[in-house]
Chain A
């Protein structure tokens, strides 16, 4: 089984090393403008939040898969898991500030031992609960077979990665056998009502490119996914979100190893779209890591770029007014969210 960069002690498991790479080469030479310079040119610097609509909690980096492009460097060998105490603190924040959407991610969020308790607690509130499920977890172990029914009971909105509608490209990115297991899991979610045209249970899929290129048109891909998955596997789903791979962690490792790094950065910078900036997720989202630290987004979390606030940077000192008046921390990886039609956890941004 593939190991995480972390357990391999790869130099790229160091976030400092990643940031050094992201700020050298064409950016240091002046051949490419930095993200900050691009924002300044379009009068959008500093970037600041508009509101807090989505509270995204990364409940741990443990995962049953080791995908080649994972920005979290997640895998079975990762032991970082959010404690029940920190989950309780998150719950208190959600209640206190009447937050409307909670987005649970990982790793495989279901592998957090307190996951079922936490979702049931969230289910008691009148809020939208998103679980970013990798699908194969439903097939991984008997104790997870109840997930489709559990999601249904708690009215969870399920968002799942399926890099392509064929096995060869999906397995290449996510591991051998992942496509077949994902199809089986999707059929189980459909069986309890998820993604069906007449149902209120939402099942969205996520596409991210299998190589060093930007996603194609989201609407065109969604139409193809719907046609192919229905025709070949009788699967229904609601929406397809296209997400650009950001040049960090394992995808950065892949870009460097395949000698595609520089070309990819040129592609992202050349495709910078000022009108995609307004919809980026850091403007309405906060991301929390397993230890309770607060970030502008899940990508900043993986680069350990905490929020620009000294007094409100942890769930134990959560001051919403201060957080909403912060400047968002940006770096060259942010070009991934503003290229072409833009990219966020909810797909394109324009």
Chain B
């Protein structure tokens, strides 16, 4: 098998990051667990936000994890793809809005 930077089997080893730095690692996982509990937003809503963010940060592990989580929590495929479009729209918009900076600079240069 070809060597790759990402191995899907590594996702289940995520918890092992505490092996090399237990205290900070445990704090991260405690905080992580707290973040995804029901609050003003439901755990279900948070799973869909996480799916969108996973695409924005392009994390393959997160995409696998939150695709499963979103299905598990009952989101239909259409809702999941809409969430991905939200992420993509923000990323696209983030590039395009810099067009204003480009225009400002160009005008300053008297183009």
Contact = CB atoms under 8 A, between A and B. Distances in A.
A215 B12 CA distance: 18
A263 B68 contact: no
Interface in A248-270: 263, 266-267, 270
B76 interface: yes
Given A220-B43, A220-B44, A270 B74 contact: no
A213 interface: yes
Given A263-B12, A270-B12, A221 B74 contact: yes
Nearest to A210: B71
B81 to A, nearest CB: 14
Contacts of B71: 210-211, 213
Interface string B1-38: 00000001100100000000000000000000000000
Contact of B74 (A214, A224, A263): A224
Interface residues of B, number: 12
Interface of B is mostly: helix
A168 B75 CA distance: 12
Contacts of B8: 263
Interface string A190-224: 00000000000000000001110111110011001
Interface string A142-186: 000000000000000000000011101000000000000000000
Number of chain A interface residues as a range: 10 to 19
B72 A209 contact: yes
Contacts of A267: 12
A225 to B, nearest CB: 9
Nearest to A164: B74
Contacts of B43: 217, 220
Contact of A216 (B12, B73, B76): B73
A213 B74 contact: no
Q: Choose among B9, B71, B72 the residue with the greatest number of A CB atoms under 10 Å from its CB.
A: B72
Interface string B54-91: 00000000000000100111101000000000000000
14 contacts: A164-B74, A165-B74, A213-B71, A213-B72, A215-B72, A216-B72, A216-B73, A216-B74, A220-B43, A220-B44, A263-B8, A263-B12, A266-B12, A270-B12
Interface of A: 164-166, 168, 209-211, 213-217, 220-221, 224, 263, 266-267, 270
